[in-house]
Amino acid sequence: MQNQREVVSERERTERKGALGLISIPVLLSIFAIATPEFDWFYAWFLSIIVGLLIIYGVINVITKRHHDRKQRFIYNIVVLNVSALVMLIMAWRVYDEALWLGLTLFIVYVLVLALAIIKRKYLLGVIRQPRKNPVGGKIYATVLLVSAVIGPSSYLYAVAISSQHGTGVAMTVLASMLVPFAYLIVLVIVPSYEGVKQASE
């Protein structure tokens, strides 16, 4: 009995740390978005409010112990990571001088990707869980993961390398361009995962 209580207590601590620790992702991304390419007070206030609301949401989840419920935990994860994806897009948009057409394009594509992730969540979940049973989708998913694994670390190294030759402006442009597909990939992966939680609880 004592061991069971210790296991439950340890699991609760892990879930609590996970719920609050996830906030660090949008916090760090917001700091970069505020300072890239230069510090801006509007984005400082705007993103601080957004992150503040996420922190309040996380604290309420912990206080009310909703983070112990798997469905609620995944809803929280989806909200936090979707906000993180949007912050990544804001960062990329700022690097490109906040061109209106680009901002609208990035946002419209985000909405379309989110709609696709919601409408086709069962299919996407099947592709993620069992890629071999979905040959076409599985190959696309595997290719996207492989490209992401290569581009992720290399984008930073490449940006650092060219910054010494072409300046930080060019380096930030390259890095921002490579962040955009990651933002959309996050949405495509995290949103369908909730369907798996629903199926497991039924």
- pLDDT value, residue 175: 67
* Residue 142: CB atoms within 10 Å: 13
| Below-50 pLDDT ranges, the chain | 2, 6-8, 152-167
- pLDDT value, residue 160: 45
- pLDDT value, residue 158: 45
Per-residue pLDDT reduced to its tens digit, 85-144? 999 999 888 888 888 898 899 999 999 999 988 898 887 777 777 666 666 555 555 555
- pLDDT value, residue 153: 47
- pLDDT value, residue 42: 94
* Residue 85: CB atoms within 10 Å: 26
Distance CA 66, CA 129 (A): 26
Measured N-to-C along each axis, helices 135-166 and 121-129 cross at an angle, to the nearest 10 degrees, of: 80
- pLDDT value, residue 46: 95
pTM of the model: 0.78
Burial class from Cβ neighbours inside 10 Å (0-12, 13-18, 19+) for residue 151 reads middle
Minimal CA–CA distance to 187: which of 50, 92, 86? Answer: 86
Minimal CA–CA distance to 91: which of 28, 45, 154? Answer: 28
